[in-house]
Amino acid sequence: MTTIDERDTGVALPGEAPYEEATRVFNLVAPARPAAAVTVRTVEDIRAALRLATVERMPVRVHTTGHASATARPMDGALLIRTRMAGAVEIDPVRRLARVPAGTSWGEVVAASSAHGLIPPHGSSPDVGVVGYLLRGGMSFYSRRAGLAVNSVRAVELVTADGEWRRVDAATDPELFWALRGGGGGFGVVTAVEVELFPVARVVTGAAFWPAEHAPALLRAWRRWTEDAPWEAATSARVMNLPPLPDVPPVLAAGPMLCVDGVVLAADEDAVPAALAQAEDLLGPLRAVAEPVMDTFELTTPAMVLQAHMDPSDPVPIVGDHMLLGEIGDDGVAELLRVIGPGSGSPLVVAGLRQLGGAYAVADPAGGVLSHFDARFAYSGAGVPEGGLTREAILAHCATVREALAPFDTGRTAPTFVERFDQPQGHLTADQVVAVDRVRARVDPAGLFRQDTMRSTTALI
C-alpha cells in the first residue's frame, strides 16, 4: 500500500486521532477497524478518498453515526468514509421539505423543522443519523399515520464510484432512486437527502412504568387495544431490567418493569381533544390494572417525542435479536412473558414489542424497493455483555426467545432493528435482491462499494 499519510486526502491510519474519530461507533461490541479512515465534509473530500481507494484497491465502506456497526461486514483492508457533510438543515415550509446533509442527527432536523410546525418521520433517538435511518426503512412513532419513514424521501444526493455527484429522484434515474430506498447500501457515498415533512401541532407522549408482576394483565390489555388503535397512535411495550446507574431513576432500577411508551399525534390544535381521548383509551385501562410507579405521559410539543423511548445517548455494548411478528394473541403474550418476564432468567436489559399496522402496512406505489411492513409487531431484545454476563449467554437467551416466538415469526425483518450481521434477516424478496444487485452493478461496475451492503440484500457475500 502506498503511504497514505503522504497523500493530501485527510485519510488516517490506526492510532491517529482522525482515524479514531472517523471510526467511532455506538455499539461498543462492534468496533470499526478498517485499514484506514477519513471524515469527509465536501464532495471533493469524497472524490479524493475514492481516488485513493481505487489506486490502492481498497474496498470502500461508509457510515455516519455508527449506530449500525453491528450489522456491518468486517472492514479488514477497507477504507472507511465517515460522512459529516458541511452545511445546515434547510427547511422549505411551503413545500414541506427538508434537505439534510449526511451526518446530521434527528435532533438537529427536529429542532429546525418544528419551528415551522412541521416534523419528519424521525426515529426515537435524537442522536441517530438521518441518512442511514431513512434509507434502511425507518420505523417512526409517526409511521402508523405517515407510513414507513423511507417513503418520505423525495431525493437522494450521492457520489458514485466514478466520482460523479448525482441528485436522483422520481424523475432523474428513477431506477437508482428506487434501489436506494431500502436496497441496503452499496451504491456510493450519500451526501444529502431531501425528506418530506408533515404538520404536527401537539402530541401526547411519554412512558408509564409498572412492576413487572403486573405484566401479564397489562400486556394483554395493551395487545387488545392495538387491534383497533387509531392510526394517530403508536406505542411499544417492553420488559426492562435497568441497572442502577446515575441516569436511571432509582424507582426503575428496583426490579423488572413493564413499560408502555408512545405517541398520539394531533395534526392541528383542533385535533388535540381527540388525541387526549385516544391516549386515555389506552392509558385508562392500564392505569386501572395498577398504579404506575412512574408516568410521564403529557400533552406537549412534538420535539419531546425524542425523549419518550429513553434511548441511551452514550455508546454502549449491545447484543440482541429482532423479528417481525404476525398477530400473537393472548397465547403469544404468555409465551413472550415466559421467556422475558419475571422468573424467566432473562439477561436482556430490554425486550418487547413495537406496535405496527396502520400505514406501516400500506405499500407506497411511488416508493422504493422497501415501502411497507406486513406485520403486526416488531420484536426486539438486547442485553449488555458486562459484569460477568457474556455475549454467548445473551445470544443463547435470544435463541430461546426466537424459539418461543417461532409460531408468530413472519420471517421478515426491519433493517433498522437488526442487531447483528449474522442474525436471520429478510426485508427483501429474492427477486428484489436480484433487481437491486443489477442497479449496483450499473453504478459501481468495479465493485468498489460491494462490501458496503446489508447481509440479506446482496449475493456478493
Q: Is residue 419 part of a domain?
A: no
113 and 57 within one domain: no
pLDDT value for 259: 97
CATH number at residue 53: 3.30.43.10
Q: Is residue 181 part of a domain?
A: yes
Domain limits for position 64: 11-83
pLDDT value for 461: 31
Mention every residue, 6+ apart, whose C-beta is less than 8 A from residue 132: 63, 64, 65, 67, 68
169 and 75 within one domain: no
pLDDT value for 6: 43
Q: Is residue 96 part of a domain?
A: yes
106 and 76 within one domain: no
176 and 102 within one domain: yes
Task: Return the closest-CA partner of residue 63 out of 129, 122, 138.
Answer: 129
Q: Calculate Rg over the CA atoms of the chain.
A: 22
Centre a 10 Å sphere on the Cβ of residue 281 and count the other Cβ atoms it contains: 15
User: How far apart are alpha carbons 107 and 314 in whole angstroms?
Assistant: 15
Domain total for the chain?
2
Q: Is 316 strand, coil or helix?
A: strand
Alpha helices per DSSP H over 39-137: 43-56, 106-114, 130-135
User: How far apart are alpha carbons 44 and 110 in whole angstroms?
Assistant: 28
User: How far apart are alpha carbons 315 and 311 in whole angstroms?
Assistant: 11
Q: Residue 224 is placed in which grid cell?
A: 387488545
User: How far apart are alpha carbons 396 and 405 in whole angstroms?
Assistant: 15
pLDDT along the chain (461 residues), means of 10: 56 96 92 96 97 96 88 93 97 98 96 95 92 95 96 98 98 98 96 97 97 97 97 97 86 93 96 97 97 97 89 86 96 97 95 97 96 96 94 96 97 91 87 96 96 64 31
pLDDT value for 309: 80
34 and 19 within one domain: yes
149 and 94 within one domain: yes
166 and 102 within one domain: yes
Angle, vertex CA 262, rays to CA 260 and CA 266, nearest 5: 145
pLDDT value for 4: 55
Look at the pTM and tell me if it is higher than 0.85: yes
124 and 185 within one domain: yes
